[in-house]
Amino acid sequence: MTRRDREVQRARTRQTGNVEPALWPGTRPSEPVPEPGIREQLERASVPARALLPLRLFFGVTFLYAGFDKLLDPAFFDASGPASIVGQLAAFARVSPLAPLVHLIQPFAIPMGLLIAIAEIAIGLGALTGLAYRLAAAGGAVLSLVFWLTASWTTHPYYYGADLPYAFGWVTLALAGHAGLLVPTAIRDLGNRVVDQGPWGPRGVPSSARLRDRPGLVEEPSASRRFVLQAAVLGAAALAVASLAAPVRFLRPSGTGNRTASAGGGTVTPTDSPAGTPSASGTPQPGGTAPATAGTGPAATPSVAQGVTVSTIANVDKQGAALIRIPADAPSPYPAGDPGIIVKLPDGTYVAYDATCTHRGCTVGWDAQDSVILCPCHGAAFDPANHAAVLGGPTNTPLLELPIVVDHQAGTISLRA
């Protein structure tokens, strides 16, 4: 065996992880090589490959689901709602260390949301099939890191957030590789060159030569060629799979999808009250409801500069609290477009806060039993009588207080001009 033959064999061994033997000089690629079964692959695979298989499968399925969940959720692309990518970027711009970057992409929020969904599908497919595996894993690490610096940045302590562990898990998979485990031969061979090792030295020959009955043909791994071809195939596969969401979304009944917790018991659709925000990895925040019912549907309102009326005293007194909507054209420091909540305190005064939880962006509600503002997603509790100070839960940042004017004669509550 020549030195070049040994190098080719070692390269192919690194590529396949000893799952399938390399082709030796004189072996005709046209001879079929049986695909090993799953049990045989598991037995031949290295210990690290077997140990990381559960992590690889979980991450792959999760990101694939996350991408589809975004594409199928009508609220995610509804620019008027706080659950949309537009609302999420507006919230991230206030708290994330990447705020300057978030401000740059805010005008392109909807295309960015679509790109994130397709990227998650591509990452999931790469992890599950082995296509451009290390690239997909690296992409998962970068995406999870961005999620941590935006959606999970206000989570304290940091270990309550899931995005940082996802980032380190993807880094581990990128470093380890798939070792050929559960990767079809067609994917492992994608990008290899067929080389004719004839008397005049090795030279590339067309892939059609695989079908010729000629000795001396071997497959030579080419890292750069394999990387480009597998990345292209993975991108095309992700687009094809993402397109499957279109008919499902259009065939879904209009009354379904994105049911979220209201300020009180039961669930309502986004057209009735502000909706909760999906988590960064793409899955919706857990459902659930606050123990008491209070709220009023958001309505189109004039500019805050005119002292816009957002609720009535009677509506707030009925349940002790009411949901409002901050106008989209509200100037700073109002969080434009966010949901808000007005609470009547025991001393008869009224206070208002931004109803976006400072943990992961869910819409908070009113718990009349304990007289606290409660997040239905992860249990963060805020004291309305003490400037929405945190009483418990995975955050240490109070809700943003909104200045209001209460007109007892007219019976209205307005945001202060």
The number of helices, as runs of H, and strands, as runs of E, in the chain is: 12, 16
Q: Is the pLDDT of residue 367 over 70?
A: yes
Statement: residue 145 has pLDDT above 70: yes
User: Do the bridges between strand 389-392 and strand 381-383 make them parallel or antiparallel, or are there none, so unpaired?
Assistant: antiparallel
Among candidates 58, 120, 97, 400, which has minimal Cα distance to 279?
Answer: 120
For residue 279 the two structure tokens come to: 């988590």
Give the model confidence (pLDDT) of 25-44 as tens digits: 444 444 556 777 887 877 77
Residue 298, pLDDT above cutoff 70: no
Which residue has tokens 């990128």? 174
What is the tens place of the pLDDT at every residue in 191-225?
776 655 555 445 554 444 444 445 545 556 678 88
Q: How confident is the model at residue 327 (pLDDT cuts 50, 70, 90)?
A: confident
Could you tell me the domains of the chain?
Answer: 3-39+182-221 (no CATH), 47-178+230-247 (no CATH), 261-415 (2.102.10.10)
Give pTM, 2 decimals.
0.61
pLDDT band at residue 276 under the 50/70/90 scheme = very low
Of the candidates 30, 31, 26, the one whose C-alpha atom is nearest the C-alpha of residue 8 is 26
Peptide linkage before 333 cis (omega within 30 of 0)? yes
Give the pLDDT confidence score for residue 353 in this predicted structure.
94
> Does residue 131 or residue 5 have the better pLDDT?
131
Q: Which of 5-14, 78-87, 341-350 has the lowest mean pLDDT?
A: 5-14
Q: Is the pLDDT at 242 greater than 90, yes or no?
A: yes
Query: What is the pLDDT at residue 267?
Result: 29
Question: In 73-157, which ranges are continuous DSSP H helix?
Answer: 85-95, 99-105, 109-129, 133-150
- Lowest-pLDDT choice from 18-22, 69-73, 137-141, 307-311: 18-22
